[in-house]
Structure 1
Amino acid sequence: MAEAAKKKLKIMIQGYWGSNEPTKAGFPFDHGIILAEAGHEVQIFLIAEAVSLFRRATAETVVPVGWPPLSQVMDKAVASGIQLYACHSCSNARGITEADLVPYKAKWGGPPVLVELVEWADKIMTL
């Protein structure tokens, strides 16, 4: 039986976890990389404590069980073509600046961006 052609999906991943849960913090990036390598288009929107990962010094100290420092995983996600977003309100509350977003080519996101991503996506994952 011939295998049907795979549909290229648009997948939005929303991440909540920060440095207090290193392994959970890594899931959006790890899953995003796997999906991007499988040919899907992925965008990651970080909210709540997850925005603290944009602070490079924090990402370098967050080490999920069995993985390299999260900064390396985040770099790989960006290299895989994954667009990252930081909730602007969450970032302001945690002192995350635009300069923190630059190494990850991340963009600010607020309610309108969240709506756009939800409307764009075929699938949504919350991790």
Structure 2
Amino acid sequence: TGTPLSLLLDQAVVKPQARYVMFHCLDTIDRSLSGDIKYYGTIDLIDARHPQTILAYGLNGKPLPVENGAPLRVRVERQLGYKMPKYLYKIELVDGFANIGGGRGGYWEDNGYDWYGGI
């Protein structure tokens, strides 16, 4: 159960330079000398507006369980699972991600995974 991400984007003020949607997550995926490394991921605005891309808040008619990403997770059905961040607390529209995290657009991408992750 969820809301199409496109509906949220329709309500937002999307600046012309925005190219990507960045999802900031509550989970600490790793630790470094500079502190906790929070999970994050990005998709482009084309996939964000796809009708199958949703912000999921429920599962099988019930609230989304923590083990499935509560309170909110993104579902991008045209991409692999690592492109569907869980435990969302902030969604940001950005023009690029070179200066964010490791500069590759997501936690797994910073660790060598393909950015698009399509199926």
Q: TM-score range by the shorter chain?
A: under 0.3
**Structure with more relative contact order (C-alpha pairs < 8 Å, separation 6 or more):** 1
Taking structure 1 as the reference length, the TM-score comes to: 0.25
Larger strand percent: 2
Larger helix percent: 1
Taking structure 2 as the reference length, the TM-score comes to: 0.26
